[in-house]
Amino acid sequence: MKLGKQRWVVRSTIVAACAAWLYYWPLFHIIPLKQADKESAAKGASFEPVAFVEGFWEGQLLPGQTRAVDAADLIAAISKDRNAAQRTYGRKVGLSSAYFYFISGTGRVVEIDKHSIGLAISESATDAEVLLETGPIFGNAVRDATGLLDVNNFATSQDFNAVSSEINRRIEADVLPKLREQATVGKTVRFLGCVQIIDEDTDLLPLRAVPIVGEVL
């Protein structure tokens, strides 16, 4: 009789342990279908760079032009002390010796070649001080120069890179054709653009800018 009671206690303990185990670590979860659909959609959701850039362009990039340094001020600062100019106006991304400038201003067209339009910024200048690139546009100058986009806000680096490609595509489609068509030597161009400095010996004068805005006045 005593042995039977002991067996009953052991069995009860095992059942209780199993119940506790299954409570905390169930073999399956039951969730509402709607929730399952949502989770599944979220997991499979892919990043849409075109839609993202559409919103970014109007919502952040164009309004963000107040962040840009005036090209005339930057050129003066660089000619005085390029290291100080970089510290004051430049932007670095991660660990890199390259850096970026986000610039705006107006300039007089002094030269036009296959892939760029040269602008003199100061009235006395005869050579190009800023070269507006007129395509094709490569790299991450616009994505990285403004400080408006941060890799940490994107799920993967591939998404972040896709933003760059789409920004460049959009510039080529929406900004460059009109600029190339209307710019002639002697005309004035208002611009907003991004510059990447990789080699200070060649990239500081003239500044090569990818135009976000390029308006012939």
Partner 1 sequence: MSLAIALSGCNSDNTTSTGSAETASGKKKIAVIVSTLNNPWFVVLAESAKEHAMRLGYNAVVFDSQNDPANETAHFDNVIASGYSAVLFNPTDADGSVANVRRAKQAGIPVFCMDREINATDAAVSQILSDNYSGCVAIGQCFVKEVGESGEYVELLGLVGDNNTRNRSDGFHSVVDRYPHLKMVAQQSADFDRAKALDAMETILQANPDIKAVFCGNDAMAMGAYQALLAAGKNGQVKIFGFDGADDVVDLIKEGKIVATGMQFPKLMAQTAAEYADKYLNGEQDLQQKVPVAVELVHQGNAEEYVTVDQEDSE
140 counts as binding partner 1 under rule CB under 8 A: yes
Distance CA 12, CA 6 (A): 10
Stretch that binds partner 1, among 3-11, 38-46, 103-111, 136-144 (CB under 8 A): 136-144
Q: How far is the CB of 205 from partner 1 (least distance, A)?
A: 18
User: 161 vs 182, which CB is nearer to partner 1?
Assistant: 161
Binding mask 65-84 for partner 1 (x = CB under 8 A): --------------------
Neighbours of 89 (CB within 10 A): 19
Out of 80, 94, 123, 217, the residue judged to bind partner 1 by CB under 8 A: 94
Stretch that binds partner 1, among 70-78, 81-89, 147-155, 176-184 (CB under 8 A): 147-155
Nearest alpha carbon to residue 189 among 213, 157, 169: 213
52 vs 5, 34, 48, 55, CA distance in Å?
Answer: 70, 26, 6, 5
101 vs 9, 69, 130, 171, 202, CA distance in Å?
Answer: 77, 8, 12, 18, 15
8 counts as binding partner 1 under rule CB under 8 A: no
**Beta pairing class for 130-133 and 207-216:** parallel
CB 124 within 8 A of CB 116: no
Residues 6+ apart with CB under 8 A from 92: 98, 99, 100
46 counts as binding partner 1 under rule CB under 8 A: no
User: 104 vs 140, which CB is nearer to partner 1?
Assistant: 140
> By rule CB under 8 A, what count of residues binds partner 1?
21
* Footprint of partner 1 (CB under 8 A): 93-98, 136, 138-140, 151-152, 155-158, 161-162, 164-165, 168
